Amino acid sequence: MKTPFVTPIIRKLARKIGAKLIIEPEYGFVGHITFKNGKKTFFRSTNFNVNHLGSVEIARDKGYASFFLKKFGYRVPEGETFFSEKLCENLPIRRSIDDGFRYAQRLGFPVIIKPNNLSQGAFVNKVYNKGGYYRAARMIFKRTSVMLVQRFYSGKDYRIVVLGDEVISAYQRIPLYVIGNGKSTIKELLNLKQRGFAQEGRDTIIDVDDFRIKVKLQRQKLGLTSIPGDEEIIYLLDNANLSSGGDAVDLTKDIHPDFSNLAIGITKDMGLKLCGVDIITDDLTMPIREYVALEINGAPGLDNYASIGKRQAKVVEDLYLKVLRAIENGKDN
């Protein structure tokens, strides 16, 4: 099993700041840090005690997070939660898979449906009709009992990572795609892309059998055996998560202050110190006109961002140093 991305960074930083570190040796996901001043803390992968547990739990629940963001005056996707049949039996308000379809009809297709509490873009679907809705919803309910149905918003997908009063990184997330060469099939191009990830040190695994890829290709009248033309770009997913094979364009130096202030405000209002804020808008480098705050993440993964280049890797290392310093010097940890 590959060592988790963050563990070698914490090893390096612990030596740098003179902290004692214990790492569970079999998997390397969890550890315990004793700082020079005697303060102690645990971590698990990208989860550190820099954030309060209640705020992190709210951030993990997309429906609750959206509720509070809206109450605090932020623009969020119009949407509603719906529940598996088993959960519906125990709830005073019944909102079943069929109710979700009727709600999607009222919003107007296409709509976004996704699990309420899973991460890394798992099972996020853009659906266009009744058949697509039920196929995707049933797959979601095999994994979890709460699903979100949301209005679809056009625009570019951005992630802004905040620590305290500072934007650490900002980047556009581009959905999984391949570029044709006039010879290779889409499946072969995906395999080439996967090998490229490995060469970059990026541990993202492209799931060629993901049903969403098949659906996306079918809508373009294509399949995995189709051969795109030279330089032809074929998008294979609608969601832009890097964990699903998407790519990142670093905009940290170019983010407009409006969006920096927006992300910092969201982070503070949600009771977080470290937060990834996901936003849909036209252009992160221009003043705010329209935006939608899609989600927040209290333990943002930065491995894919770090794989862009040496400068980005240094940004991530500096972030974790600031996280450790915040824990070491904080009053509430």
- Structure pTM? 0.92
Residue 213, pLDDT above cutoff 70:
yes
Q: Give the alpha-carbon dihedral of 43, 302, 156, 294, to 10 degrees.
A: 0
Name the phi and psi angles at 140, rounded to 5.
-60, -45
* Unique residue bearing structure tokens 């898979």: 97
pLDDT tens digits along 74-111: 999 999 999 998 888 777 778 999 999 999 999 999 99
Q: Give the alpha-carbon dihedral of 153, 257, 62, 27, to 10 degrees.
A: 120
d(CA 124, CA 317): 30
Q: What is the mean pLDDT of the chain?
A: 93
3-state secondary structure of 153: coil
Which tokens is 22 given? 């214990």
pLDDT tens digits along 37-69: 999 999 999 999 999 999 999 999 999 999 999
